[in-house]
């Protein structure tokens, strides 16, 4: 894309990592918990949303469960599935993480109008969707063509 994307990403990771350290979380883990705030979903859905493998998703959820941040319950519609939800402690940690991500956005979007922020969000979302579509196409053996 360009050099600025890498610079932004490294700065974001440094800031978020430092802030989430207080809660014993890595940046992706904080985002996973934040995702669960508005979604009662399966482990597979979490992995798909973040485009991470099943093993990494399972390890993170097991750690969250041990720390009392999430619970897994049998899906009444499909007994073979377990749904993941936040516990009250998970909700508390997510509220704190949300404030951290909000402060980072305020730092980055200083001087931007709401319309510029919205447009940037839409552009980055489309870029991510294109990248994920290409990546998943690679797995189909067609090399994204």
State residue 136's pLDDT score: 82
- Within 52-113, residue ranges assigned H as helices are 54-66, 88-108
Of 4-13, 19-28, 63-72, 134-143, least confident by mean pLDDT is 134-143
Choose among 55, 95, 128: nearest CA to 47: 55
| pLDDT tens by residue, 21-60 | 988 898 888 889 989 988 889 999 999 988 899 999 999 9
The rounded distance, in Å, linking the Cα atoms of 2 and 113 is: 23
For residue 59, being part of any structural domain is answered with: yes
Q: Are 34 and 87 in contact (CB under 8 A)?
A: no
Where in the sequence is the domain holding 49, given as residue range(s)?
Answer: 3-108
**Mean per-residue pLDDT over the chain, rounded:** 89
For residue 64, being part of any structural domain is answered with: yes
For residue 138, being part of any structural domain is answered with: no
For residue 145, being part of any structural domain is answered with: no
For residue 75, being part of any structural domain is answered with: yes
For residue 45, being part of any structural domain is answered with: yes
Given a cut of 70, whether residue 143 has pLDDT beyond it is no
Report the DSSP beta bridge partners of residue 75: 78
Which residues make Cβ contacts (< 8 Å) with residue 58, sequence separation at least 6?
43
State residue 31's pLDDT score: 87
For residue 124, being part of any structural domain is answered with: no
Which residues make Cβ contacts (< 8 Å) with residue 113, sequence separation at least 6?
none
Given a cut of 60, whether residue 14 has pLDDT beyond it is yes
Q: How confident is the model at residue 111 (pLDDT cuts 50, 70, 90)?
A: very high
Distances (CA, A) of 41 to 82, 97, 131: 8, 20, 24
84: CATH? 1.10.10.10
For residue 142, being part of any structural domain is answered with: no
Q: How confident is the model at residue 140 (pLDDT cuts 50, 70, 90)?
A: low
């Amino acid at each position: 894309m360009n050099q600025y994307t890498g610079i932004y990403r490294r700065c974001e990771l440094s800031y978020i990592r430092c802030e989430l350290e207080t809660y014993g979380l890595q940046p992706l883990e904080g985002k996973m918990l934040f995702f669960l705030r508005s979604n009662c979903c399966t482990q597979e859905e979490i992995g798909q949303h973040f485009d991470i493998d099943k093993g990494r998703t399972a390890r993170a959820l097991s750690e969250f469960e041990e720390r009392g941040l999430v619970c897994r319950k049998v899906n009444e519609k499909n007994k073979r599935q377990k749904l993941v939800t936040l516990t009250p402690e998970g909700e508390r940690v997510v509220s704190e993480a949300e404030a951290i991500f909000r402060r980072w956005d305020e730092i980055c979007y200083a001087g931007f109008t709401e319309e510029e922020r919205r447009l940037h969000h839409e552009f980055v979302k489309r870029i991510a969707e294109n990248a994920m579509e290409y990546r998943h196409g690679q797995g189909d053996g067609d090399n994204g063509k």
